């Protein structure tokens, strides 16, 4: 069986298990999504949603982020890991978005990855959820682990894993593939799973 055939079978099973899927982060506009995605690095989506529940009540516009002193913003997100670096990146990026893009999140991979704190994973999430663009596959910890487990990639670097996946996953599936893999990891196959009850255990190499 080729990796392409295997990927299609895995996707079919994931669709059966999770007919509907979406990003787990809560947000109501593109700027909120950007903030939530940056905060989610090396932190659980659940914890991010707890913090942003209060944060988004205070920061309702891009101007709120720009005008708030960095030290104050740091305190507002200090329950998040790496909050100082994230605060600095968010503040710097919203200023660029406001000044250079009229307050709108850029709609291309090239422009997004130039922003502070934005790599391909974040850019892929923003492009798909804001603009419906499938430029690549967002590789988080679940996607990385399961891609290795299923033999879809032997790499550990997220960018190399993304490249491997883009070669075997049909492009029209790129956006939702990430979220179904995350759903599967959370519901059936966590990090220390023994795979005795995993619906997709037949695909494990």
Q: Half-sphere exposure of 192 toward its Cβ, with a 13 Å CA cutoff?
A: 0
Instruction: Give residue-wise pLDDT tens across range 75-116.
Output: 999 999 999 999 999 999 999 999 999 999 999 999 999 999
Catalytic entry in 45, 140, 164, 183: 140
Global pTM reads: 0.95
Give the position of tokens 């690095």. Answer: 41
Token pair listed for 117: 């704190």
Residue 121 known to be catalytic = yes
Catalytic entry in 86, 91, 121, 183: 121
Percent of the chain topping pLDDT 90: 99
Token pair listed for 122: 């974040």
Instruction: Give residue-wise pLDDT tens across range 144-195.
Output: 999 999 999 999 999 999 999 999 999 999 999 999 999 999 999 999 999 9
């Amino acid at each position: 069986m080729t990796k392409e055939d295997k990927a299609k079978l895995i996707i079919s099973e994931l669709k059966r298990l999770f007919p509907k899927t979406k990003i787990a982060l809560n947000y109501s506009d593109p700027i909120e999504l950007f903030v939530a995605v940056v905060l989610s690095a090396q932190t659980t989506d659940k914890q991010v949603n707890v913090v942003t529940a209060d944060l988004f009540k205070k920061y309702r516009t891009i101007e709120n982020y720009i005008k708030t002193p960095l030290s104050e913003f740091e305190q507002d997100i200090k329950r998040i890991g790496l909050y100082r670096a994230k605060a600095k990146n968010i503040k710097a990026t919203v200023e660029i978005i406001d000044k250079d893009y009229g307050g709108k999140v850029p709609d291309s991979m090239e422009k997004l990855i130039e922003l502070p704190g934005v790599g391909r994973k974040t850019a892929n999430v923003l492009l798909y959820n804001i603009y419906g663009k499938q430029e690549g596959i967002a590789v988080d910890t679940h996607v990385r682990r399961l891609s290795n487990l299923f033999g879809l990639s032997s790499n550990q670097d997220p960018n190399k894993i993304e490249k491997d996946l883009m070669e075997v996953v049909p492009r029209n599936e790129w956006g939702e593939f990430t979220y179904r893999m995350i759903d599967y990891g959370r519901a059936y196959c966590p990090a220390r799973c023994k795979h005795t009850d995993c619906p997709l255990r037949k695909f494990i190499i």
